[in-house]
Amino acid sequence: MPASWWSAAGRGKPSRSTTVVANTESGSHCLKVDGFSRSKNLRPGECLQSSTFPAGGHRWRMYCQPNSDGTEGTEGFVSVYLVLDEDVTKPVRAEYKFTVAVKNRLPFFLSKKPPEVPSLTPRVNTSDFDSHGAWGFAKFLKWEDLEKAGYLKYDSLIIKCSITIINEFRPVQVTSATPPPPISVPPSDLCHHLAVLLDTALGSDVVFNVGGETMPAHQDVLAARSPVFCTEFFGVTMERTDNRIIQIDDIEANVFSTLLYFIYTDSLPEMKKGEEKIMLQHLLVAAERYKMERLKLLCQEKLCKHIDGRTVVTMLVLADQQG
């Protein structure tokens, strides 16, 4: 888009703001325990641990204590912890999320339907880890919830830990230009311009003689709006003729003038209340003659509002003429 247009559209001065962005690194690891039901025999505080795994430039382990970590009030819970398995000179800030997955022993192409188990809410927290420090959840999940939810259907438990290392927060300056004001698009005035074209007769190439009046018009416009005019002006055997003069003897001048107005504007002019009914009747005949379906329907719609005991016979005659 040209820059000159943008300026002309009223571009304002650029606005500036500061966004604080965290530099982060992520990783994840899964601890899978087969034969998990046998872990009930472990004493509180005894743990199952994963192998060391890397995430965010550091080394970690996952600890799972199936019969709680042994602290008061944690009986009946599975406890999980994330351990920073290395020495560091300063604490490592990390967001950690523990989730539980379900194991399906049947291959997916043999399973009629995947196991339906309710979702267990992930546990998320952010902590500063010192050397070999551990953070997690003493009351991660209840045994009874795991059993009821169907996570132990195949006597296997999979715990996933997702880690996001937050290295630092840094400010970033954001510059954005003020958007231009909305542009109001006016409604189409094509019909107005065509009405002016008809009124001024600019570039006209056909003249109708109707009831002693001359009415200039444009063959292209008439042909586009009426298949009858199209055939008359541009039929296979017809040659283009400018300044064509056509005599109209079976339509009154005011009716033909109104017909031309509709052809150019797709609307009807204002009519005097006492003359509207008669004009519509004659326009209906003209619309049928020149195969102008929209004008025909418009006249019929308006004439229906004038039906009464005095006009019903005339309307029936017109209806019979129109088929």
The pLDDT tens digits of the residues spanning 272-321 come to 877 888 899 999 999 999 999 999 999 999 888 877 656 655 555 555 55
Report if residue 295 sits inside a domain.
yes
Report if residue 99 sits inside a domain.
yes
Least confident range of 8-22, 184-198, 236-250? 8-22
pLDDT for the residue numbered 104: 53
111 and 239 both lie in a single domain: no
Tokens standing for residue 91: 């604490």
- Contact between 130 and 91 under an 8 Å Cβ cutoff? The reply is yes
162 and 211 both lie in a single domain: no
- Contact between 132 and 52 under an 8 Å Cβ cutoff? The reply is no
Q: How many domains does the chain have?
A: 2
**Among 145, 172, 199, residue at a domain's last position:** 172
Q: How confident is the model at residue 9 (pLDDT cuts 50, 70, 90)?
A: very low
This prediction has a pTM of: 0.46
**CA separation (Å) from 226 to 96, 162, 206, 219, 285?**
75, 72, 15, 10, 14
Instruction: Give the mean pLDDT of 238-254.
Output: 86
219 and 145 both lie in a single domain: no
Least confident range of 6-15, 43-52, 85-94, 131-140? 6-15
151 and 197 both lie in a single domain: no
156 and 96 both lie in a single domain: yes
162 and 268 both lie in a single domain: no
CATH number at residue 73: 2.60.210.10
**pLDDT exceeds 50 at position 165:** yes
How many residues does this entry show for the chain?
323
Report if residue 2 sits inside a domain.
no
pLDDT for the residue numbered 314: 58
| Torsion, CA 133, CA 120, CA 64, CA 29, rounded to 10 | -70
Least confident range of 116-120, 214-218, 282-286? 116-120
Report if residue 11 sits inside a domain.
no
How many Cα atoms sit within 13 Å of 40 on the Cβ side?
11
**Best CA proximity match to 49, nearest among 165, 159, 137, 127:** 159
Name the one residue in this structure whose structure tokens are 């809410």: 121
Q: Mean pLDDT across the chain, nearest whole number?
A: 83
Report if residue 198 sits inside a domain.
yes
Which residues are registered as beta bridge partners of 206? 217, 244
CATH number at residue 234: 3.30.710.10
Residues 225, 99: Cα–Cα separation, whole Å: 70
Report if residue 1 sits inside a domain.
no
**pLDDT exceeds 80 at position 177:** no
* Helix, coil or strand: residue 167: strand
Q: How confident is the model at residue 22 (pLDDT cuts 50, 70, 90)?
A: low
301 and 211 both lie in a single domain: yes
298: domain range?
A: 190-321
Report if residue 13 sits inside a domain.
no
125 and 212 both lie in a single domain: no
**Among 172, 200, 230, residue at a domain's last position:** 172
**Among 125, 140, 172, residue at a domain's last position:** 172
Backbone angles phi, psi at 210, to 5 degrees: -135, 115
52 and 128 both lie in a single domain: yes
CA–chain centroid gap for 246, Å, is 54
297 and 269 both lie in a single domain: yes
Residues 274, 314: Cα–Cα separation, whole Å: 16
Least confident range of 167-171, 227-231, 232-236, 314-318? 314-318
**Best CA proximity match to 6, nearest among 177, 175, 185:** 177
124 and 235 both lie in a single domain: no
SS (H, E, C) 231-267: HHHHCCCCCCCCCEEEEECCCCHHHHHHHHHHHHHCC
166 and 209 both lie in a single domain: no
Report if residue 182 sits inside a domain.
no
Question: Which of the given ranges, 22-26, 140-144, 237-241, 291-295, has the highest pLDDT on average?
Answer: 291-295
Tokens standing for residue 267: 């609307």
